[in-house]
Amino acid sequence: MKYKLLGRSGLRVSEFCLGTMTFGTAWGWGCDEAGCRSQLDLFFGQGGNFIDTSNVYGSGQAEEILGNILTPAQRNSTVLGTKYTDNLPGETAHANSAGNQRKNMVQSLEGSLKRLKTDYVDIFYVHTWDFTTRPEEVLRGLDDLIRQGKILYAGISDAPAWVISRCNELADRMGWSPFVVNQFEYSLVERTPDREIVPMSRALDIGMVAWSPLGGGILTGKYTANKDAGGSRRMDNVPYKTLSERNLTIARALDAVAQEAGCTPSQAALKWMLKKRIIPVIGASSADQLKINLASLDVELSDDQLGQLESASAVELGFPHDFFESAKGFVYAGLFDRIDRHRDDGIGTSADAKQNANFSYTDVMIDSPAQA
């Protein structure tokens, strides 16, 4: 395991982030506390230090389990991120028990700190943009919490690129803490973030963390192998990801690459994402499953194999990206191919975009020892 610098911050996080949506059995599936402890021991033993949770995972049970398990030494060496905004309907729900506003921000954080048995969290994410709270209220509220020492960094999840860009420009102008990490859905079967979210994050030096890196199970090989899709995993029981012909075609291409590389489809899919400089959030139903996914660190994929996955999963970028293809001759007066565009920022020909996607950026990586 190695560490990466998280966006524009100096925070060092592991290549994988351990997801905890499977921690607890309150939702009728997931791991009991003993199973969660086994996952954490394995993750720490391989050098992992980045953990993702939320106030709503397992109706709060995920945070409670982390609070029960993490020793003081482990908490000190762990980069722990949780989220606010969402809340589950119920008897205790009220008008301000969800949303981005400061009232919910503060009361949600206090609840998370109590369940996690800690006096601060390393990263506090806006879980979902609510499109009603003004950016000034959100950013000033988060900055106040940072100044109070209750959170160290602010992150954002599931928001449009224009919202994140506007927020960070405002934060820089006002001297507030910006978002240093952006969490969004991304996988071989969900690459629409390539249109705006990924290039925006790269251009603004915002760390990228991807949830559902295995496409809700589509990229594990279970569907292409015609196995029984039954089970207790979250995405198996919900038609969240359509088993469309396009997605099955991508899964078959992944199977072929995995067979050639001598690994599982899930390992090949995770390795592809690691090469994109995007941190996968890996959740597991057991330590054995987590061990299989972590083994993707040792997988080697050739440039040709990576190219096959890129080609099979690519999405149309749309306007204005496609428009540039026809206009570049005028924009560069016919000299496009003769200009060294070191500030390309991902804008250019399809070939440029593919080169950008194919890992032309330099990672800042630090060898990671096993965590005590």
- Phi then psi for 12, rounded to 5 degrees? -105, 120
Written as six digits, the tokens of 109 are 């954080």
Tell me how far apart the alpha carbons of residues 77 and 67 are, in angstroms, rounded to a whole number: 14
Is there a cis peptide before residue 280, judged by omega within 30 degrees of 0? no
Tell me how far apart the alpha carbons of residues 292 and 74 are, in angstroms, rounded to a whole number: 23
Cβ-based neighbour number of residue 94 at 10 Å: 9
Q: Does 254 have pLDDT greater than 90? A: yes
Tell me how far apart the alpha carbons of residues 371 and 79 are, in angstroms, rounded to a whole number: 12
Tell me how far apart the alpha carbons of residues 216 and 240 are, in angstroms, rounded to a whole number: 7
Catalytic residues: 57
Tell me how far apart the alpha carbons of residues 174 and 93 are, in angstroms, rounded to a whole number: 34
371: left (phi over 0), alpha (psi -120 to 50) or beta: beta
Residue whose structure tokens are 């009232």? 103
Structural domains present in the chain: 2-314+362-367 (3.20.20.100), 321-357 (no CATH)
Tell me how far apart the alpha carbons of residues 323 and 237 are, in angstroms, rounded to a whole number: 41
pLDDT tens digits for range 32-73 = 999 999 999 999 999 999 999 999 999 999 999 999 999 999
Q: Does 349 have pLDDT greater than 90? A: no
Tell me how far apart the alpha carbons of residues 27 and 338 are, in angstroms, rounded to a whole number: 58
Q: Does 328 have pLDDT greater than 70? A: yes
Per-residue confidence (pLDDT) for residue 234, from 0 to 100: 45
pLDDT tens digits for range 99-134 = 999 999 999 999 999 999 999 999 999 999 999 999
Written as six digits, the tokens of 256 are 């072929």
Written as six digits, the tokens of 221 are 């090989």
Written as six digits, the tokens of 134 are 């003004």
Class of residue 349 by CB neighbours under 10 A (exposed 0-12, middle 13-18, buried 19+)? middle
Q: For the chain, what is the total number of helices (H) and then of strands (E)?
A: 13, 11
End-to-end CA distance of the chain: 14
What is the value of pTM for the model shown?
0.89
Residue whose structure tokens are 């925006």? 200
What is the four-CA torsion angle of 272, 275, 277, 279, rounded to 10 degrees? 40
Q: Which helix (H) or strand (E) holds 122?
A: strand 121-126
Strands lying side by side in the sheet with 365-367: 12-14, 2-5, 365-367
Tell me how far apart the alpha carbons of residues 349 and 339 are, in angstroms, rounded to a whole number: 13
pLDDT tens digits for range 194-240 = 999 999 999 999 999 999 999 999 999 988 765 444 444 444 443 45
